[in-house]
Structure formats: C-alpha cells, structure tokens
C-alpha cells in the first residue's frame, strides 16, 4: 500500500542545509512510474545542487538524489513495459522528449527538454520518487539494490567517459579524483575494460582503496613533487597516458591534464567544479594533437551496459550506508574531501 506521506531530505534554500521531514507522496503521470526508493547513492552533484555551484538554477524546494534504487509501486496508464514489483533505478536523466534530433540518435542527455532528477525535478532522497518510464534503469532482480545504487550515476558516467576516451585495452588511463565516488567506480570499470590505471588522488586511505580496486600506480597530488613527470613515467612508454578521465572537483587538474596526456591523447572532462575554466596552450595542443572533450552521464544503452558489468560481478566498489536522515553529515564529509568511495543512504531511516 502506498502511503500519502513519506520521509524526504529537502533543500529549502540554496546553500542548504538539507532538512529531513515528512512530505506528500505524489502520483505518477500517464508516462511515469512511482518508485519506492530503498537506497540512494550520494553524488557530489547533489552537493553542487544544494550549494548553487552551477550556472543552472535548481527547483526549490528540492528533493535531491539521482542514484535511487528501488521497486516500481505504481505506473501511469501509458506505461506497458515495466511491471509493478520490478526493480528500477532513478538516474540523473529523469526524462527527455524522445523525439528531438539528439534523442533520435540516442544522445538523450543532450535533449534541451531533458528533466534532471534531484535538480529540475525531485529525485531519490525520498521514499517514493517519480520518473519517466522510458528512462528508469531496469535493474535485474538478482542485483542488490544497496550496492547497485552508485552505478546509476557514478557507474554510468565513468563507463561512458571511458568509452568516449577511445582508449583501447592495454593502454594507460589516468583517473584524476580516483579516490572519490566516480573515481572508485572508474577504477573498477577501467580494470574490467582492460586499461592500465594511473590513479591520482590524496592520502593513504584513498591510495589503498585505489590499489585494491585495480590501479597499477597511485600518484598523490598533495605530496608529489612533480606530478606531470610521475604520471608520464607511470604510462606504458613514458610518453603519458592515452586518456585522462577528470573526475575531480577543483580546477587545477583540468589545467594540468594536457601537460601529461600523451600526444594524440584524449582528455575527458567529467567533474564539474564551480566556476572552473579550461585552458591549454594552443601551440602544444596543435603540435601534439591533443583532444579535450566533455562527457555527460550516459544514454539508456550505456545505462544497461553499465548495469550488466555490475551484474556480471565485475564491479565491486566500496560504499558506506547511513540513514537518509544523516544526509547533511554526508555532505559535510564530502565538502572536506574525506569520502573514499561512495556513501549510500537508506531511505527507511
Ligand atoms: O555526467 C557528468 N559529467 C557527471 C556525472 C556525475 C558527477 C559529473 N559529475 C561530477 C560531480 O558533479 C563532481 O563535480 O563529477 C565530480 C565528481 O563527483 P564525485 O565523484 O561524486 O565527487 P567526490 O566523491 O567528492 O570525489 C572527488 C575526488 O576528487 C579528488 C578528491 O580528493 C575526491 O576524492 N580531487 C580533488 I577535489 N582535487 C584533486 C586533484 N587536484 C583530486 N584528485 C586529484 N587531483
Ligand atoms: Zn551524479
């Protein structure tokens, strides 16, 4: 039975804090499903949203969250291809028009009418969340809802980013911010995809985690005397990694990456630090044929593929679970850069 009220974590004003309170449960529209969210991962994007870091306004009040794993409990009249009781995931892309020139070629993240979970529409930091049926992630019944939650944004995003890098099995990939949520999953996907991994982050805890997750080398950006040389030295032939996956939340590594990527290498920007700019010398970029690009979540096929890696047992990144009521504490740790891996919140407490 679906209750009329539920627990949720609500951002009432930009800057926060997030308030744990009772709010009404909404009904899904004709093309939507209502999901009883059991677990939700906490992404740095949720913190950016609360802090108003980006040049795009959120709805207010806002229920954040876009890594929600749960059970379909209601569906609109037009929904025929997902059943009550099925396991499904709320991801960043809550819905898109499905009929524009981007949606038509499976670039739905680029749809100008896209709705974003936990940003332009309420997301998964509540017990009952709504999404367009066409876009919810289909989660196989055998998958653990708690462990799969971080795949729904972090997993999809880094998997897509690695594909966008064009790197081939055996080539080196630098993961910048490897000890965080996206980074820890990037280590696992990169390993499963056959890349040699140069993990860059800070501190012993994140180093141990990255090495366990399959990194070949760890470079500590806070203690390294010459990060550019160290990263190049760790690559296959000393010329630098074929690809750099930037999942850090500060500007500096975005400026630094073109210095150590190999000639003809690809720098993939994924992290979204506030007010950050990219800059690289035109001369080097030209004569070394460097590619700099952005990568933004993934489409529905990327979603299914990223979940399939998890289902096959290839992805096993660490996470810690706390109650949804403790979300503000998670944000505090995240701000301080103290989270190795991902936090997941349990919506039942
Ligand atoms: O589709 C997308 N492009 C997308 C999807 C999901 C998330 C983008 N994001 C963005 C988020 O909005 C955020 O800006 O990716 C970024 C990373 O999200 P996250 O993994 O959830 O954040 P985190 O867990 O806080 O990890 C960040 C890590 O970066 C490290 C930190 O130590 C932390 O482990 N880091 C920093 I800050 N500066 C670094 C540096 N100079 C660094 N690592 C290496 N070098
Ligand atoms: Zn995210």
pLDDT (tens digit, 9 = 90+) per residue, 94-104?
999 999 999 99
Beta-carbon contacts of 81 under 8 Å, excluding residues fewer than 6 positions away, are: 133
pLDDT, residue 18, reads 98
Q: Which atom of ligand 1 is nearest to the CA of 43?
A: 21
Name which of 202, 212, 267, 280 is nearest 240 in CA terms: 267
Ligand 1 centroid vs 220 CA: distance in angstroms? 15
pLDDT, residue 285, reads 97
pLDDT, residue 230, reads 98
Ligand nearest to the CA of 181: 1
User: Which residues hold their Cβ within 5 A of ligand 2, which is an ion?
Assistant: 43, 45, 153
Q: What value does the mean pLDDT take over residues 50-69? A: 97
Task: Supply the DSSP symbol for 278.
Answer: -
For a ligand 1 pocket test, name from 177, 210, 221 the mutation site with the most ligand atoms within 8 angstroms of its C-beta: 177
ipTM for the complex shown: 0.99
| Long-range pairs of 47-50 with CB within 8 A, sequence gap ≥ 24 | 47/331, 47/334, 47/335, 48/272, 48/274, 49/11, 49/118, 49/119, 50/11, 50/14, 50/15, 50/16, 50/18, 50/331
Express each pLDDT in 274-300 by its tens digit: 999 999 999 999 999 999 999 999 999
In this structure, what token pair is assigned to residue 292?
A: 């700099």
Ligand 2 centroid vs 52 CA: distance in angstroms? 15
Ligand 1 pocket by C-beta < 6 Å: which residues?
43-45, 48, 153, 157, 176-177, 179-183, 200-202, 221, 247-250, 252-253, 270-273, 295-297, 334, 337, 339
pLDDT, residue 63, reads 98
Express each pLDDT in 144-180 by its tens digit: 999 999 999 999 999 999 999 999 999 999 999 999 9
pLDDT, residue 161, reads 98
Express each pLDDT in 97-133 by its tens digit: 999 999 999 999 999 999 999 999 999 999 999 999 9
By DSSP bridging, strand 196-201 and strand 172-176 are parallel
pLDDT, residue 167, reads 98
Ligand 2 centroid vs 8 CA: distance in angstroms? 18
pLDDT, residue 238, reads 97
Q: Which atom of ligand 1 is nearest to the CA of 248?
A: 29
pLDDT, residue 305, reads 98
Express each pLDDT in 305-317 by its tens digit: 999 999 999 999 9
pLDDT, residue 124, reads 98
Ligand 1 centroid vs 177 CA: distance in angstroms? 6
Q: What value does the mean pLDDT take over residues 251-271? A: 98
Instruction: Provide, rounded to the nearest whole percent, the portion of the chain with pLDDT above 70.
Output: 100
**pTM of this prediction?**
0.98
Q: Which atom of ligand 1 is nearest to the CA of 182?
A: 20
pLDDT, residue 26, reads 98
* Cβ atoms 295, 272 nearer than 8 A: no
Instruction: Provide, rounded to the nearest whole percent, the portion of the chain with pLDDT above 90.
Output: 100
Chain Cα centroid distance, residue 137: 14
- C-alpha radius of gyration, the chain, whole number: 20
pLDDT, residue 99, reads 97
pLDDT, residue 318, reads 95
């Amino acid at each position: 039975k679906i209750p009329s009220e539920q627990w949720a974590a609500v951002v009432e004003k930009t800057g926060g804090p997030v308030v744990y309170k009772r709010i009404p449960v909404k009904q899904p529209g004709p093309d939507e499903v209502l999901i009883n969210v059991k677990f939700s991962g906490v992404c740095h994007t949720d913190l950016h949203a609360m802090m108003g870091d980006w040049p795009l306004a959120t709805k207010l009040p806002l229920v954040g969250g876009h890594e929600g794993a749960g059970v379909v409990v209601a569906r609109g009249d037009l929904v025929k291809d997902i059943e009550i009781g099925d396991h499904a995931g709320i991801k960043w892309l809550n819905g898109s028009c499905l009929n524009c020139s981007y949606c038509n070629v499976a670039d739905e993240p680029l749809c100008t009418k896209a709705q974003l979970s936990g940003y332009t529409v309420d997301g998964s930091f509540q017990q009952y969340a709504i999404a367009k049926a066409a876009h919810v992630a289909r989660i196989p019944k055998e998958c653990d809802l708690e462990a799969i939650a971080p795949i729904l944004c972090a997993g999809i995003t880094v998997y897509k980013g690695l594909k966008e890098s064009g790197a081939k099995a055996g080539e080196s990939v630098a993961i910048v911010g490897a000890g965080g949520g996206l980074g820890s999953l990037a280590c696992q996907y990169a390993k499963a995809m056959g890349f040699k991994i140069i993990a860059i982050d800070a501190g012993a805890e994140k180093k141990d985690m990255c090495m366990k997750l399959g990194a070949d080398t760890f470079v500590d950006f806070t203690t390294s005397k010459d990060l550019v040389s160290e990263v190049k030295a760790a690559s296959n032939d000393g010329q630098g990694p074929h690809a750099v996956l930037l999942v850090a939340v500060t500007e500096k590594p975005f400026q630094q990456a073109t210095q150590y990527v190999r000639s003809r290498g690809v720098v993939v920007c994924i992290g979204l630090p506030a007010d950050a700019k990219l800059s690289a010398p035109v001369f080097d970029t030209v004569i070394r044929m460097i590619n700099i690009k952005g990568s933004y979540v993934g489409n529905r096929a990327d979603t299914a593929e990223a979940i399939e890696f998890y289902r096959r047992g290839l992805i096993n990144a660490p996470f810690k679970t706390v109650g949804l009521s403790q979300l503000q504490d998670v944000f505090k740790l995240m701000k301080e850069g103290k989270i190795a891996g991902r936090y997941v919140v349990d919506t039942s407490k």
